[in-house]
Chain A
Amino acid sequence: MARSMLVISRQAPWSGPSAREALDIVLAGGAFELPLGLLFLDDGVFQLAAAQQPAQLEQKDLTANLQALPLFGVESLYAARRSLAERGLDEQALPLSVEVLDDIGLSALINRYDHVITI
């Protein structure tokens, strides 16, 4: 059976290439139909903010790529409730369908995966 991998994306989309590069790992694995999950944690939840204007920073918009994840076979998307709350993001108003987890849920999630990569 294929080994599962959880990618934990912890960086804001404007902080450098990390958000993009975490997403690229997930997209590459999705192409191989591997069991993958993507968790938005800490500043990573800013990737889920609505109405971003990355062009102001001469950056590309990741939002469309995130929304394409289910098309790549990646449907296990998670966000940390505490991270969202700390940053004033309304979990009911996220532009992406993610499962919002509390701290106990996070720990169970991480334990479920064979491999974990944090970026």
Chain B
Amino acid sequence: MKFAIALFASPHSPAARRALRFAEATLAGGHEIVRLFFYQDGVHSASANVVAAQDEPDVAAEWSRFVSANRLDGVVCIAAGLRRGVLDEGEAQRYRRPAANLAAGWELSGLGQLHEAAQQADRLVCFGGH
């Protein structure tokens, strides 16, 4: 089955951990992830600057490794990212910010990517909505 997975909540929320474990289980179960889409506070899980306490899971780093290792299509909403300070090199230069912090494996793009994923997937599974 083809899954699109969306995350709306911050990296320290239970929803972010559930989304990650769900995504891992999706691949482990032989299913396909057509796209991961991070929106709202979910964009913070694509930041390379999140620092977790030593005895807590580093969810943002785990996401980055997971997306890169499995060559997944990982998209962070650009408008939600800009609003919350998650920038790639291009946006950092465009808005003259001192640093880019988008973690490896991710790309910034628009909400059209969420809709495209929803069209391609059998299931859109969202984590961390209200």
Q: How far is the CA of A2 from the CA of B115 in the complex (A)?
A: 10
Verify if B5 is at the interface (C-beta below 8 Å from A): no
> Knowing A17-B40, A24-B79, A117-B124 touch, does A29 contact B130 (C-beta < 8 A)?
no
Most B Cβ at <10 Å: residue of A2, A21, A114: A21
| Selected interface stretch from A3-11, A47-55, A92-100 | A3-11
A5, B115: Cβ atoms closer than 8 Å? yes
Interface footprint category on A: 20 to 34
Beta-carbon contact of B124 and A115 below 8 Å: yes
B48 interface contact, C-beta 8 A: no
Q: Is there an interface contact between A21 and B112, defined as CB atoms closer than 8 Å? A: no
Q: How many chain-B residues does the 8 Å CB contact rule pick out? A: 18
Complex partner residue of B129 from A3, A32, A34, A119, CB under 8 angstroms: A119
With A2-B119, A3-B118 as known contacts, state yes or no: A117 contacts B129, CB within 8 Å.
Answer: yes
| Nearest-CB residue, chain B, relative to A26 | B111
Please, how many angstroms separate the alpha-carbon atoms of A10 and B126 in the complex? 15
Known contacts A17-B83, A31-B112, A32-B112: A115-B129 contact under CB 8 Å: no
B76 CB within 8 Å of chain A? no
Cβ B111 vs Cβ A25 within 8 A = yes
Residues in B whose Cβ lies below 8 Å from that of A21: 39-40, 80
Known: A24-B79, A28-B110. A119 touches B119 (CB 8 A): no
B118 near A119: Cβ-Cβ < 8 Å: no
A18 contacts partner chain B, Cβ-Cβ < 8 Å: yes
In the assembly, what is the distance between CA of A18 and CA of B42, in Å? 12
Question: A59 interface residue, CB < 8 Å from B?
Answer: no
How many angstroms between the C-alpha atoms of A31 and B111 in the bound complex? 11
Query: Does residue B8 face the partner (Cβ distance < 8 Å to A)?
Result: yes
